[in-house]
Chain A
């Protein structure tokens, strides 16, 4: 469940904030969100990773289909990638790592400052 929560929040952040802010600002926000929500390492990593990957792939797919432009293929040739589709996959993979590690760092950071109950009877 926590995975889906982080996934949805990440998608919302990328879709609504990324158009106005550069990717590193999105990374900071994902870090903060994970630190606040403390979803757990695994949910943070996979949720943040897939959230950002899916929204980036989704947007590049939407732009490509909607415009009918062959720019992705042309760009692929210049960069030396096999095709525009590969470029889209690479975009997704990069999004995955950026999102996943940002969230994971956030969650790990929260673990650091989380006060550990020393005496369960005093609370």
Chain B
């Protein structure tokens, strides 16, 4: 009896211990998660609770002091750059380890390893686009041409790894605990992968959609609905800029044949609308103090942990401060004692597609001119949690990887399209930032930018010595008109990119007469620029609002620039609403609620403040009208893009009776006015329903800005319904899921004044008080003081840590 009793209880005990330690279904092992000594309860602590005064680190050459200010922003004081980057790695990993690793797992197409087969398609896509391939080429490039940068990347990786190696179960970030995996070692390769991932986030193309539109609409209507340049073009480089170089001659080859397939493949995931940014610099002639002021606010998807991590990095030679990307070296958008710089995305159709004609089913050779060229096969091994490893063979041509083929999203057996993208070329973006961090003047800035390939960026610049400058930098193919706008034939060598625009012929300007430089993702140049420029996603509103304001402003202060970053004047509404009200006329027999909506939108001051009702009414009315107008296009079975808001508004205003407004699918002939009226009815119906379900329809309430955790399913780690204004096409571009991911204003006087804020916090731990503490400031247009610190300055400090070399 005793034996049976013992065996029964003992087995029960073993079972409790065992089943508590293994994952049950999708749930993580429950006991390690709940054990308050090692599980998630430990993440209730904030970083200052386990501050260490001294940490001994291997491979350091001299002691490094790190001062955390009251917002947990680290200020690193190192004697040399190698120590500096080693500590940057260690400190960043302390606060953002899970995020850095997760982002590179995504970039490497390895999410299936963590979450299982649901991510397999995503991972295949990522790998077939060749991000990992690009990063491998990047490492080769560094090994051959830039051992210094590689050494710094390895120092950074070593810093991260020394943190990982001493990491206790208790301190393991909570996401690892929930998803039940452990961090791997960091490598230089992963840092490059992260930069490729940024490219992927920022670069899109609409080649597929335009190929379809060209076939459906014909050239003439295509150019009317989708002109390459808008009438009100207010480009990045001032329109009257004189190009002082001899352009390389290029002309469109005669009698080209574009592939004329029915393209029903699913397009690549695109950067979402609203991904964009502002930057500008005003010269001393326009400021109250006489010092240049630079401002930057990159708009990206709003996530937690925040994409950015603030830091000051100091050596005896320089001190740089601003926003870093966890996983990459140095400061990405920031300033030092002499200069400040900021970045916005400079999209310019950097991705092109070539139709590949294989000789036979083995796909080992493809047609190029009169010859058959050899392909290469790259086998992607995708580990899948809980399942067998998935092997995906990707065919590489000299253009790039064949993304779509019979095994992946190709509806037709012979659909083979290769992707040509600058990301697949060895390049050295990391060096640009290392050099910018130590820049002293405009020449240094230009030298730094020469290393930058992709994703193309508009680099705004200002220096203490009084210069303001802007340069659109990337590796841009020298294209003949319309090259790359549509899918091209990979068998015709004339379709191929022949050469690149030399760096010194990329659009740039220094101290223009107007006293400022600016960019907001609009067309980079006026039509006078000698090379072909095309992209579907150029901005038409933020740029004009920004330039109009900068032109009329004088005696500018830092506060003025902060206010301009937060400006929520709805220029699209200002232009479209009068047209829509005109086309609506004086409707009779309006219901009470419809009359109320109309009254409210008429009385609105055109600013999209959070408490306003006007923006909600306009936004809905516009969307319904727009959907009505382009109904025929939306109903097509193939992917297309619809004309942009600007062009649509222009057509409604200038030719409301045009045949473009007639829907072929109906028996009557519509004009713009019909669509506006129909749109108004739909808006009333939808908004009435919305009000019944959700209540107050003021803008912030309707828009529901959400800052989402990188794992969207972890809803409670997100911050939802942030009360803030702005929206797409406004300088404060805060929409539902996108907006200013970092705001910075720097005045370059004798002493640098700097202010910054981002929608998140320094800590990546959802339990920490530093996880989301900047969000209320950010939502109200407030800033943190970002002034440079000296090593022994008497300022508020959260704690200090000294890193000592091993004796």
Contacts and interface: CB of A to CB of B under 8 A. Distances in A.
Nearest to B768: A69
B255 to A, nearest CB: 61
A116 B45 CA distance: 53
6 contacts: A23-B17, A56-B34, A59-B41, A63-B36, A78-B714, A78-B717
Interface of A: 18-19, 22-24, 27, 31, 56, 59-60, 63-64, 66-75, 77-79, 87, 90-91, 94, 97-98, 101-102, 104-105, 108-109, 111-112
Given A77-B716, A104-B9, A18 B41 contact: no
B34 A71 contact: no
A94 B34 contact: yes
Interface in B10-44: 10, 12-13, 16-17, 20-21, 27, 30-32, 34-38, 40-44
B2 interface: yes
Contacts of B30: 94
Contacts of B43: 69, 71
Contacts of B36: 56, 59-60, 63, 91
- The A interface, classified by DSSP as helix, strand, loop or mixed, is helix
Contacts of B17: 23-24, 27, 98, 102
B6 A108 contact: yes
A69 to B, nearest CB: 4
Nearest to A68: B769
Given A74-B716, A101-B12, 6 more contacts: A23-B35, A27-B13, A69-B768, A98-B16, A98-B17, A105-B10
B240 interface: no
B46 A67 contact: yes
Contacts of B6: 105, 108-109, 111-112
A60 B39 CA distance: 10
A112 B3 CA distance: 7
B31 A105 contact: no
Most buried by A among B2, B10, B40, B44: B44
A63 B10 contact: no
B35 A111 contact: no
A19 B37 contact: yes
Nearest to A69: B44
A18 B714 CA distance: 29
B370 interface: no
Contacts of B178: 78
B42 A23 contact: no
B169 interface: yes
B507 interface: no
Contacts of A94: 20, 30-31, 34
B292 interface: no
Interface string B44-60: 11100100000000000
A89 B335 CA distance: 50
Interface of B: 2-3, 5-6, 9-10, 12-13, 16-17, 20-21, 27, 30-32, 34-38, 40-46, 49, 169-170, 174, 178, 713-717, 766-769
A101 B13 contact: yes
A119 to B, nearest CB: 21
B718 to A, nearest CB: 10
B174 to A, nearest CB: 8
A22 B2 contact: no
B44 A71 contact: yes
Nearest to A76: B716
A60 B717 CA distance: 20
Contacts of A66: 44
A22 B38 contact: yes
A75 B40 contact: yes
A108 B9 contact: yes
Given A27-B13, A105-B10, A73 B716 contact: yes
Contact of B10 (A59, A73, A97, A108): A108
A32 to B, nearest CB: 13
B37 A18 contact: yes
* 10 tightest A-B CB contacts, nearest first: A71-B767, A69-B44, A77-B716, A74-B716, A108-B6, A59-B36, A101-B13, A67-B44, A60-B36, A69-B767
Nearest to B717: A74
Contact of B9 (A60, A90, A91, A101): A101
A69 B767 CA distance: 6
Given A63-B41, A71-B43, A71-B766, A87 B35 contact: no
Contacts of A74: 716-717, 766-767
Nearest to B49: A67
Nearest to B21: A24
Contacts of A105: 6, 9-10, 13
B34 A67 contact: no
Contacts of B38: 22-23
A98 B714 CA distance: 29
A53 B37 CA distance: 13
Contacts of A90: 34
Contacts of B10: 105, 108-109
A60 B37 CA distance: 8
Contacts of B44: 63-64, 66-67, 69, 71-72
Nearest to B170: A19
A102 B716 contact: no
Nearest to A98: B16
Nearest to A28: B17
A31 B13 CA distance: 10
Nearest to B38: A22
Contacts of B3: 112
A70 B773 CA distance: 13
Contacts of A91: 34-36, 41
B23 to A, nearest CB: 13
A66 to B, nearest CB: 8
A84 to B, nearest CB: 10
Contact of B41 (A60, A108, A112): A60
A105 B5 CA distance: 9
Contacts of A72: 41, 44
Contacts of B769: 67-69
A101 B16 contact: yes
Contacts of A109: 6, 10
Nearest to A100: B13
Contact of A71 (B9, B13, B40, B169): B40
Nearest to B718: A74
Nearest to A17: B37
B29 to A, nearest CB: 10
B37 A112 contact: no
B20 A64 contact: no
Name which of A24, A27, A112 has the most chain B CB atoms within 10 A of its CB: A24
B767 A67 contact: yes
Nearest to A67: B44
A77 B34 contact: no
B330 to A, nearest CB: 32
Nearest to B35: A23
User: Which of B13, B42, B46 has most chain A Cβ within 10 Å?
Assistant: B13
A73 B717 CA distance: 10
A19 B715 CA distance: 30
A87 B44 CA distance: 14
B35 A56 contact: yes
Nearest to B18: A24
Given A78-B178, A105-B10, A108-B10, A98 B41 contact: no
Nearest to B169: A22
Contact of B2 (A68, A98, A108): A108
Contacts of B41: 59-60, 63-64, 71-72, 91
A23 B388 CA distance: 32
Contacts of A75: 40, 174, 716
Contacts of B5: 108
- Most chain A beta carbons < 10 A, residue from B41, B43, B170: B41
Given A77-B716, A108-B2, A98 B31 contact: yes
A71 B767 CA distance: 5
Contacts of B45: 63, 67, 69
